[in-house]
């Protein structure tokens, strides 16, 4: 009795190289590969942007002969206000706006703190109580600038806060010339500031705010008035 050849057609079929599983793996692997490249590129851009931000902030210097129609100081420290009042006394601008003052702080308290004369404050200093944040500073300053008819303004704030301040001001008022006058933070004067945890934390936080402000101003998403009056109107 002869043996019939075993039928191999019923054995388990093997997937060929052109089968569906490798075909499915190909696009997934390519997507993962390009996604990894995009992630690494994004991290490199963010890190490079931070280095550029840190370099521009730490090397930012006030103009040698500051001159403008007016001066705006964004509150956040007495050192800023002292510098702005000194600029006003030297004739760097005709008038000064102190933007973002807390409602409980009086003009008399600020004047005593700066040791300025009552005559100077009476004639040439305005106190802005409406701004809640940097966006509000820009709105409040712009309203004041347009009401007074100024074309150029010295902006006084800390050096690390200057990029975001100028960005917000230019967004709401692209026609006015804003001249930065940074108040240098002593923690950032040395080249080893990045070894100071507090200075590094301030810089990273401010850089993140700069990125968020840029995205907000570019898309218009999440932008708010930043004014105390607007917040009150929204609650009423």
User: Which of 77, 202, 93 has the alpha carbon at shortest distance from 155?
Assistant: 93
Residue 24, SS3? helix
Q: Report which of 57, 87, 61, 59 is spatially closest to residue 72, judged by C-alpha positions.
A: 87
pTM attached to this predicted model: 0.79
Q: Any idea which architecture 70-235 has in CATH?
A: 3-Layer(aba) Sandwich (3.40)
Say what the alpha-carbon torsion angle 110, 188, 205, 37 is, to the nearest 10 degrees. Answer: 160
Which residue has 């009795």 as its token pair? 1
Per-residue pLDDT tens over the stretch 82-126: 999 999 999 999 999 999 999 999 999 999 999 999 999 999 999
Report the C-alpha gap between 204 and 47 in whole angstroms: 10
- How large is the angle between the packed helices 78-89 and 107-114, nearest 10 degrees? 80
pLDDT in tens, 146-190: 999 999 999 999 999 999 999 999 999 999 999 999 997 655 666
- The residues spanned by each domain of the chain are 70-235
């Amino acid at each position: 009795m002869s043996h019939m050849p075993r039928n191999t057609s019923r054995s388990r079929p093997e997937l060929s190289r052109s089968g569906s599983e490798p075909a499915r793996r190909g696009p997934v692997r390519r997507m993962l590969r390009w996604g990894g490249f995009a992630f690494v590129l994004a991290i490199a851009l963010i890190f490079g942007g931070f280095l550029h931000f840190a370099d521009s902030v730490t090397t930012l210097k006030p103009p040698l002969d500051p001159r403008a129609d007016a001066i705006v100081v964004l509150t956040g420290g007495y050192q800023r206000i002292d510098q702005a009042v000194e600029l006003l006394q030297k004739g760097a601008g005709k008038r000064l706006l102190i933007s973002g003052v807390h409602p409980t702080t009086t003009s008399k308290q600020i004047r005593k703190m700066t040791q300025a004369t009552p005559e100077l404050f009476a004639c040439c200093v305005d106190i802005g109580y409406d701004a809640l944040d940097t966006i509000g500073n820009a709105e409040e300053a712009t309203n004041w600038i347009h009401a007074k008819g100024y074309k150029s303004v010295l902006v006084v704030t800390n050096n690390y806060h200057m990029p975001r301040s100028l960005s917000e001001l230019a967004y709401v008022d692209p026609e006015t010339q804003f001249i930065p006058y940074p108040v240098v933070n002593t923690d950032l004067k040395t080249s080893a500031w990045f070894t100071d945890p507090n200075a590094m934390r301030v810089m990273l936080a401010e850089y993140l705010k700069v990125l968020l402000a840029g995205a907000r101003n570019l898309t218009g998403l999440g932008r708010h008035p930043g004014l105390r009056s607007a917040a009150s109107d929204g609650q009423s």
